[in-house]
């Protein structure tokens, strides 16, 4: 029999990893905006991807993962262009133009796009709650953006940043659908190995283009602020990816993914702490968008469990916490 302390440690481990992932990713939006003040969005994207690729290659070796070969390598290259190159460039542009809080919310609507594309192309059913979540999510985004037109952010930059964020989210969503289809094949896929290839492909593509387009004069290479933020949004953010995968090995996909709805909330809290408090309409739009995504993506059973969890924690002694079969589901 597993000792209570050991059971508690095993139950807490994945949650700690997820908490670290949420903090790392959620606090990465403001540093991205700061980095974009010292160089072009294209250059910042290349500088953050290059060390991330090295981290992922090291992870392949440390975790004993396998790099994809043959046709799977081709899919890894394609999804790397969509999910890393286009996504990270669009994310950086969106943050630089529309602001960290807006960028965080807009980028994290990609689960809604995944649902729509899966319904159209994969014939996956949408529940009534999922439809309501879709409407709420997109309605929240519309309220958030429209309420800022004519405000402190230049309208043209706000709309362009929002459009680039949605393009980035679309690239991510298409990549997710491709990987979902591949994962249904016998033997599945090695996500760590595929992600390593994705980062290598994206960095090899973006960094040379950045030097060719922007040269070296547009970047403040001697800025300690630039390199400090690059460390956080580059290698540190990639470590967050590894933490997410390690948590996914112990928890179900639904439980693991549901924690990521806290990422934009952390980004908005950081903005408020910096004194950049959004207006009431913007905050309401952000809240509606996040709740809409949660309703659309998280299974009803998981939502009910999240709702009941605080009460269960108060009634249940720590020593009685056990690892249930569903907690080790990696589906």
The residues spanned by each domain of the chain are 23-317
Query: Helix and strand tally (H, E) in the chain?
Result: 16, 0
Rounded Cα gap, residues 167 and 113, in angstroms: 10
Query: What pLDDT sits at residue 273?
Result: 87
CB atoms under 10 Å from CB of 314, counted, come to 7
Give me 214's structure tokens. Answer: 């922007």
Rounded to 10 degrees, what is the CA torsion of 236, 241, 243, 246? -150
Query: What pLDDT sits at residue 85?
Result: 95
The sign of the CA dihedral 76, 77, 82, 84 is: positive
User: Could you list the pLDDT tens digit for every one of the 331 residues in the chain?
Assistant: 445 555 555 557 788 888 898 899 989 999 999 999 999 999 999 999 999 999 999 999 998 999 999 999 999 999 999 999 999 999 999 999 988 888 888 887 777 787 788 788 777 777 787 788 888 878 888 888 777 766 667 888 888 998 999 899 899 888 888 887 888 778 778 989 999 999 999 999 999 999 999 888 889 999 999 999 999 999 999 998 888 877 776 765 556 666 667 788 888 888 888 888 777 888 888 888 878 777 776 666 655 665 555 555 455 444 443 444 444 443 3
Rounded to 10 degrees, what is the CA torsion of 161, 162, 165, 167? -110
Contact 155, 98 (CB under 8 A): no
Rounded Cα gap, residues 135 and 151, in angstroms: 25
Query: What pLDDT sits at residue 302?
Result: 59
End-to-end CA distance of the chain: 26
Rounded Cα gap, residues 175 and 76, in angstroms: 9
Render the burial of 150-160: b for 16+ CB within 10 Å, e for the rest.
eeebeeeebbe
């Amino acid at each position: 029999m597993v000792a209570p302390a050991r059971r508690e440690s095993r139950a807490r481990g994945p949650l700690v990893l997820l908490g670290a992932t949420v903090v790392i990713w959620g606090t990465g939006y403001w540093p991205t905006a700061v980095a974009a003040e010292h160089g072009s969005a294209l250059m910042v994207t290349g500088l953050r991807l290059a060390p991330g690729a090295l981290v992922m290659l090291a992870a392949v070796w440390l975790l004993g993962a396998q790099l994809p070969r043959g046709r799977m390598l081709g899919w890894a290259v394609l999804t790397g262009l969509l999910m890393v190159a286009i996504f990270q460039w669009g994310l950086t542009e969106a943050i630089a133009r529309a602001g960290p809080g807006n960028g965080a919310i807009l980028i994290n609507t990609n689960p809604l796009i995944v649902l729509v594309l899966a319904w159209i192309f994969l014939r996956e059913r949408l529940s009534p709650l999922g439809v309501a979540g879709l409407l709420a999510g997109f309605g929240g985004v519309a309220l958030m953006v429209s309420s800022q037109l004519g405000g402190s952010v230049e309208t043209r930059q706000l709309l362009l940043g929002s459009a680039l964020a949605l393009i980035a989210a679309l690239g991510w969503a298409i990549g997710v659908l491709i990987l979902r289809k591949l994962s249904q094949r016998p033997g599945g896929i090695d996500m760590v190995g595929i992600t390593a290839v994705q980062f290598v492909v994206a960095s090899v593509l973006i960094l040379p283009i950045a030097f060719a387009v922007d040269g070296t004069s547009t970047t403040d290479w001697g800025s300690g602020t630039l390199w400090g933020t690059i460390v956080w949004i580059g290698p540190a953010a990639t470590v967050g990816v590894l933490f997410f995968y390690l948590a996914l090995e112990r928890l179900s996909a639904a439980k693991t993914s549901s924690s990521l709805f806290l990422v934009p909330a952390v980004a908005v809290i950081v903005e408020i702490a910096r004194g950049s408090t959004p207006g009431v309409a913007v905050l309401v739009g952000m809240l509606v968008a996040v709740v809409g995504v949660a309703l659309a993506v998280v299974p009803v059973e998981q939502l009910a469990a999240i709702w009941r969890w605080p009460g269960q924690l108060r009634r249940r002694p720590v020593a009685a916490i056990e690892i249930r079969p569903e907690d080790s589901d990696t589906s």
